[in-house]
Amino acid sequence: MSLNRRDFLKIAGAAGACLAGGKAGKANAAAAVGGGKEFYGMLIDTTKCIGCRACEEACNQKNKLAEPEVSFSSESVFEKKREPTPEAYTVVNKFANEKEPDKPVFVRKQCYHCNQPACASACLVKALEKTKDGPVIYNKDRCMGCRYCMIACPFDIPKYEYNTPFPYVKKCQFCFDRVKNGEQPACAEACPEGATLFGKKRDLVDIARQRVYQNPDKYVHYIYGEHEVGGTGWLYLSSVPFEKIGFRTDLGTTPYPEHTSGFLYGVPLVFVLWPSLLIGLNYLTNGKNGKEDNHGDK
């Protein structure tokens, strides 16, 4: 390929305009998401999940995690409720089904990839970051291990490696390397029942609504994750109330970063007001003790 000078300038100009446009877009991107780009998400239909744990196995292999103590084909793991661990980013739990006792409900748990993640707003070094594609990823080289992300996450997803001198935070990264290249995450690819469906979040919300609309008796009329903590990238459908299958339904719809934004907006105010008021007070009280110039120097 050969470029003459004229073409080069054209391209450079266009690229510059794009960059500038991108920047301008960012300013009001909170709602429109990264200059019009839409987040990817997942739709987990718990009515379709059969508890085969193929997603767990695929996740384990994709992320090169340690071999589990109990094999992926064993059902003994369902005896107690599990949480994700540093060695298992996604776990399937089994819940009793009151509607149909012989059909237990299986629910995956992993990072929900919030639209406005608490963990990323907590992180003081941007080790946790919301990408434009949707995944909330972890830049391990920046992390200092303060674990504030773990305090902040409403779903208790980030897990810590407590038993190594060089620990990291561990959680589902939404296979962001695959998503970036247009591939679906390993777990979605492995799911034999289509219980884990990958796509643009907007499309997934439509699909979820359609399923509820077409099967009003089968589903609880609620899409978990559509509005929770400002919306999450991963959505859930269920046939039983969500609080019965391990979901917190008391989290509200306020995006978590907004809980601290009020305080942070106050910081510049204090920085302007306090010194000026204190300097004023200092002049005012000068000479209070019968001396004109008082710098604390006696």
Partner 1 sequence: METSKAAKGAQGSGAGLGNTVREFARFIIGELKPKGKMMTPFNVITGIIIAVGIVLIAIRFYKGLGSVTNLSQDYPWGIWIGFDVITGVAFAGGAYVLTFVVHILKFEKYEPIVRATVLNGFLAYVFYAGALLLDLGRPWNVVNPIIGNSFGLSSVLFLVAWHFLLYMICEFLEFSPAVAEWLHWKKARKIVQGLTTGAVIFGITLSTLHQSGLGALFLLAPSKIHPLWYSGNIPVLFFVSSIFAGLSMVIIESTFTHKVFHDRMDAKHRASHDEILLGLAKGCVGALFAYLFLKAIDLVHGHHWDLLATPMGYWYLFEVFGFVVLPIILFVKALKMRSVKLVQFTAFLTAIGIIINRLNFSVIAFKWYAPVRYYPSWAEIWVTLAVISMELWVFRWVVNRMNVFSEYREEKEELPKKAEVLKWKTTAM
Q: Which stretch binds partner 1 (CB under 8 A): 20-28, 58-66, 166-174, 213-221?
A: 166-174
* Cα distances (angstroms) measured from residue 276 to each of 18, 269, 273, 281: 43, 11, 5, 9
Q: What angle do CA 202, 129, 144 make, to 5 degrees?
A: 155
Compare residues 81 and 99 and give the one whose CB is closer to partner 1: 81
199 forms part of the interface with partner 1 (CB under 8 A): no
DSSP secondary structure letters along 170-184:
E---TTHHHHHTTPP
Q: Which of residues 117-146 bind partner 1 (CB under 8 A)?
A: 118, 120-127, 139, 142-146
Q: Which stretch binds partner 1 (CB under 8 A): 15-23, 100-108, 147-155, 193-201?
A: 147-155
Compare residues 71 and 285 and give the one whose CB is closer to partner 1: 285
- Binding residue for partner 1 (CB under 8 A) from 4, 73, 164, 214? 164
x/- site string to partner 1, residues 17 to 56, per CB under 8 A? ----------------------------------------
How many residues bind partner 1 (CB under 8 A)? The answer is 64
Q: What angle do CA 140, 67, 48 make, to 5 degrees?
A: 90
Element at 108 (helix H, strand E): strand 105-109
Compare residues 101 and 162 and give the one whose CB is closer to partner 1: 162
- Least gap, CB of 186 to partner 1 (angstroms): 23
- Binding residue for partner 1 (CB under 8 A) from 31, 80, 162, 217? 162
Classified as helix, coil or strand, 194 is coil
Compare residues 123 and 208 and give the one whose CB is closer to partner 1: 123
- Binding residue for partner 1 (CB under 8 A) from 70, 76, 221, 263? 263
Question: Could you give phi then psi for residue 156, rounded to 5 degrees?
Answer: 55, 50
Compare residues 86 and 185 and give the one whose CB is closer to partner 1: 86
Compare residues 209 and 259 and give the one whose CB is closer to partner 1: 259
- Binding residue for partner 1 (CB under 8 A) from 72, 78, 95, 160? 160
Classified as helix, coil or strand, 58 is helix
- Least gap, CB of 150 to partner 1 (angstroms): 4
Region of 35 on the Ramachandran plot (φ > 0 left; ψ -120 to 50 alpha; else beta): left
- Binding residue for partner 1 (CB under 8 A) from 36, 166, 221, 265? 166
Q: Which residues of 243-258 are buried (b: 16+ CB within 10 A; e: fewer)?
A: eebebeeeeeeebbbe
Compare residues 18 and 264 and give the one whose CB is closer to partner 1: 264
246 forms part of the interface with partner 1 (CB under 8 A): no
Asked if 80 contacts 101 with a C-beta cutoff of 8 angstroms, the reply is: no
Q: Which two tokens stand for residue 268?
A: 């510049």
Q: How far apart are CA 153 and CA 34, in angstroms?
A: 23
* Cα distances (angstroms) measured from residue 250 to each of 43, 154, 228, 254, 260: 21, 10, 9, 11, 19
260 forms part of the interface with partner 1 (CB under 8 A): yes
Q: Which residues of 270-289 are buried (b: 16+ CB within 10 A; e: fewer)?
A: eeeeeeeeeeeeeeeeeeee
Binding site for partner 1 (CB under 8 A): 83, 85, 118, 120-127, 139, 142-148, 150-152, 154, 156, 159-168, 248, 250-252, 256-257, 259-264, 267, 270-271, 274-275, 278-279, 281-282, 285-286, 288-289, 294-298
